[in-house]
Amino acid sequence: MDAQTRMEIQNLTEQQQQYVIQTLPAKEKSLSSAYIFWVLFGAHYFYLNKPFKNLFLWALCYIYIGFVWWLFDLFRMKSLVADCNREIARKVIHDAILLYPKPKKVHGETIDAEFEESTKENAS
């Protein structure tokens, strides 16, 4: 996880942070799995959520340009996985913000707190 992603997580509420911490490890891609897909099938872009790029790579293999690209990806794999994980982290952070919005404040008081107090009074 890069420094910018860590800063974005620190700016979240506690509930949003918990969601990100619980969800992100399950969605992140591993470098070793990417290498396995690269070696066995040349399907590492499928694994990294870029299916059209992988289809294009396979199409170029028929004219041998794809093999050069495939070999070049061996040396770029670490950055490809890091970029994919950065994108996944941004999506998870965005989901956390949508699922758990920050309470709105009006004149220094949270609106949600007033709503909870009014519902408690109405219930009794």
Q: What digits encode the pLDDT tens for the residues 62-109?
A: 888 889 999 999 999 999 999 999 999 999 999 999 999 987 776 666
Express each pLDDT in 8-21 by its tens digit.
999 999 999 999 99
Query: DSSP letters of 42-99?
Result: S-HHHHTT-HHHHHHHHHHHTTTHHHHHHHHHHHHHHHHHHHHHHHHHHHHHHHHHHH
Q: How far apart are CA 97 and CA 16, in angstroms?
A: 6
pLDDT at position 122 is: 55
Percent of the chain whose pLDDT exceeds 70: 84
pTM, 2 dp: 0.78
Residue 60 contacts by C-beta under 8 Å, 6 or more apart in sequence?
66, 69
User: 110: pLDDT confidence band, cut at 50, 70 and 90?
Assistant: low
pLDDT at position 121 is: 57
Quote the tokens at residue 107.
Answer: 């004149």
Q: How far apart are CA 57 and CA 36, in angstroms?
A: 17
Each domain of the chain, given as residue ranges in start order, spans 3-123
